[in-house]
Amino acid sequence: MILREYRTRLRDILNEMNPEEGTAIADLLLCAALQTDKGTMLAMLDEETTSDAEDFCGKAIQDLSYGKPIQYVLGSCCFYGQEIAVGEGVFIPRSDTELLVETAVKLLQPGDLFADLCSGSGCIAKAIGKSLPDCSGYALELSRKALPYTLRNLDDTDNVQVLRFDVLDDEEYAALAIKAGRQFDLLVSNPPYIPTDVIEMLSTEVHYEPETALDGGEDGLRYYRAITAYAPLLLKPDGYILFEIGYDQADDVCEILENAGYSTSVLKDYSKNDRVVLAKKG
């Protein structure tokens, strides 16, 4: 079949599944199937499709019909201008999280040291590391399923080290302080923050993502409490903590931090939802 005709058929199928994004998804799948960019794909529209490309798209349509996220189907996504490898077992980066990166980049100075806790794919640490080559940092992740993605995505980011790390264990913080040999200027985290009972009500696509990257405990605040409690083992007295939060968690997270002696401010994302809590002691 001519690629132009196959593209039209693919669009029709995907528009029935997803009227808002079906056309864009069709072109994403074709580019992935042909291992090329959109411009080159459009220049090939009068050529014959290959059986490999049709097989790839057929399998992709089946996976999408079951609710599998397009990012898992493609094996990657874009975050802060960087291509990030993703797959089952690692949380898919969201564009809202770019506000966390933007804020960290503004706060850090040349020579500063940062840590990205609950790093997952490593997208935050990679974005900061690439934006600030004069800074150094650590990407800290516990999950053995996610860690290969953390390592893969940060393989070309020489100023960021990847470590397996349990943010709920104070001994891990003490060990990292010894390894780093200096105090940290900033701790940044997009931790699991969905209350346990709410997870079952999330969309089908979200259920493909690892529950460990979603489950923030009974009230969704388990990781905020732990990181805040153990931060003094790593952080300079005048250092910063940056948290991504759920849209309704600003008051609770600020209270946790303020009770620990931090001053706080809340930043809104482009949808005008509370998204980032910035905290500093002193």
Q: Which pLDDT tens digit goes with each residue over 191-223?
A: 987 877 777 766 656 667 777 767 677 788 999
CATH code that applies to domain 89-281: 3.40.50.150
**pLDDT at 184 (0 to 100):** 98
Higher per-residue pLDDT: 230 or 210: 230
Confidence category of residue 138, pLDDT binned at 50, 70, 90:
very high
Higher per-residue pLDDT: 177 or 197: 177
Q: Please state the rounded mean pLDDT for residues 46-57.
A: 93
Q: How far is CA 164 from CA 38, 47, 78, 120, 141, in A?
A: 37, 48, 24, 11, 5
**pLDDT at 204 (0 to 100):** 57
Q: What is the DSSP letter of 94?
A: -
Q: Please state the rounded mean pLDDT for residues 119-141.
A: 98
For 169, phi then psi, to 5°, come to -115, 115
**pLDDT at 212 (0 to 100):** 73
pLDDT cut 70: percent of the chain above it: 95
Q: What is the mean pLDDT of the chain?
A: 93
What is the Cα–Cα distance from 237 to 281, expressed in whole angstroms?
6
Least confident interval from 3-17, 18-32, 192-206: 192-206
Q: Please state the rounded mean pLDDT for residues 44-55.
A: 93
Q: Please state the rounded mean pLDDT for residues 159-175.
A: 97
CB distance 56 to 14 below 8 Å: no
Beta bridge partners of 263: 280
Beta bridge partners of 186: 114, 240
Q: Is this structure's pTM higher than 0.85?
A: yes
**pLDDT at 189 (0 to 100):** 97
Query: Above 80 in pLDDT, residue 282?
Result: no
Q: Please state the rounded mean pLDDT for residues 24-38.
A: 93
Beta bridge partners of 48: 2
Q: Please state the rounded mean pLDDT for residues 252-259.
A: 97
Q: Please state the rounded mean pLDDT for residues 270-281.
A: 94
| Residue boundaries of the structural domains of the chain | 3-66, 89-281
**pLDDT at 281 (0 to 100):** 84
For 272, phi then psi, to 5°, come to 70, 25
Q: Which pLDDT tens digit goes with each residue over 54-111?
A: 999 999 999 999 889 999 999 999 999 999 999 989 999 999 999 999 999 999 999 9
**pLDDT at 149 (0 to 100):** 97
Give the other-Cβ count within 10 Å of 168's Cβ: 14
